[in-house]
Structure 1
Amino acid sequence: MTKSYKKLQLSTSDYYLELFLDYFNQRLRIDHYRGNMTRILQEISHISEEDFCEKVIFYTRQEHWQQLLSHGYELEGVISGYFSGTDNFIMTLYTKNERRTSQHWVKENKILEDIKGKGLNNMNEKPIPNEYIIRKAEVGDTKQLADLYGKVFQVYPTPMDDPKYVEHMIHDGNLFYLVEYQNEIVSAASADVNMINHNAELTDCATLPAYRKHGLMKKLLMDLEKDLRKNGIFCAYSLARALSFGMNSAFHQLGYQYQGRLTNNCYIYDKLEDMNIWRKDLSS
């Protein structure tokens, strides 16, 4: 099986780079950088010429995003407080026109308008039924978790349907919370914690279709938030499928702020999709 991604560190006398080469989603992401920006951009330009790369995503500090703008990058979104309290300006560059063009942008805008038009509901008004158990996941849950992700998503940007990959994520410090019904895992979500920049991405949100009427995902996300606060992580964010009314509504109801949309960001559900950025300050 071909490896779907590779993490790469480049260090020279001019700069230091931490890169995520995402072969499955045909993109290159710059997660961390320091040094000579001219040299850095030259190196990124060289790597982006490789066949796999259709999109470059540069997690940029406030003092550099306008410099990237002058090199053809564009601002697709912001994650406030991402870098230990300072903002992440998500700059992108496309190497193919078809990757730059979204087929669903207007529909996705309408979904956002409808969600925001509904206002905010009382999160405590709908307790989940007693027979549903919410708990933190353990290594012994990896087989069932992988089965859940395999059932919910035809396509997913990471191999979450592989029990060994899920086990690796848990050992690597990712927090997973799940919902059990009659000893079956019917819903789950995780937090990918970045201890260097003191943030966490809420991700891997999945609920079996038959169990989506109880608001399980909101409860899972709230438990993840509590866990993050206890560990001193106050910047929480998520990338939600822009075409999913349910997931975007859940983040809006939980007080997350919409901060942009990443065009044709990854292969998820059944195709290449745009992803909405949602962010919340857990310290308030």
Structure 2
Amino acid sequence: MNTLKNQTVFITGASRGIGRAIALACARQGANVVIAAKSDTPHPKLPGTIHTVAEEVREAGGQALPLVLDVRDEDQIKQRIDEAAEHFGGIDALINNAGAIRLTGVENLKVSRFDLLHQVNARAVLACSQAALPWLKKSRRAHILSMSPPLNLDPKWFAQFGPYTSTKYAMTMISIGMAQEFKRYGIAVNTLWPKTLISTAAIEHEAGGAQMMAQGRTPEIMADAAVSILNHSIEEMTGQNLIDEDVLRQDGVTDFEGYRYEANDKPLLPDLYLD
């Protein structure tokens, strides 16, 4: 496997949580990291901005470029990706990490909220990948990696929050398509999903609160798996819907206790869409 030294990685939603962890993991391998997110100024409840993460990236050994990006704005997406490519001389990897969550059924979901879920999840994967494509074609080790689940059509995953599920599955289906479509350009396309709950602000505020957080893992497990994927060639890995723990087990990791969010004896909660 290679390292990411001098590779340019563009990460959406990188100001906190899994995106931030991936940014730092890439930085530790000497990557140029583009921190693209809406968080330009501090949020009253949520830690981290693109600027604080940029500072952390530099301290970790990487080059950093913080860019304000709303992934719903296709013109801004193209502008920011071109800006990043011109700054670092290209783009080698796109991480579609930005996400929106609302675990509600059809009856009680505002259509405007569904529009948001669709735009931030499914549409952004298409728009960001399309904008990055001209640059990825020029890279010798091009990757697109989206944070979305394997397709599990068990009705239980649709029963309570079908709208959210449909947008996350759309991310995966678009990625499966791109893996085939972009193979001729030498661009690897995969998805990554956690085996267990990842304890982030999204879980704390949108899903289960502190009690659920105690039964999850830190974002670092997703970051380590993402970096592993980026270090594989297209011949080794493309068109796959990967699970973080499986990726790391293939790398020889056997002890996952260090990834626990809290040291306790509570059983870890499996993430959505995994039986």
What TM-score does the superposition give when structure 2 sets the normalisation length?
0.28
Task: Point out the structure with the larger strand share.
Answer: 1
Which protein shows a greater Rg?
Answer: 1
Greater helix share, structure number: 2
What TM-score comes out, normalization by structure 1 length? 0.28
| More RCO (CA 8 Å, sep 6+) | 2
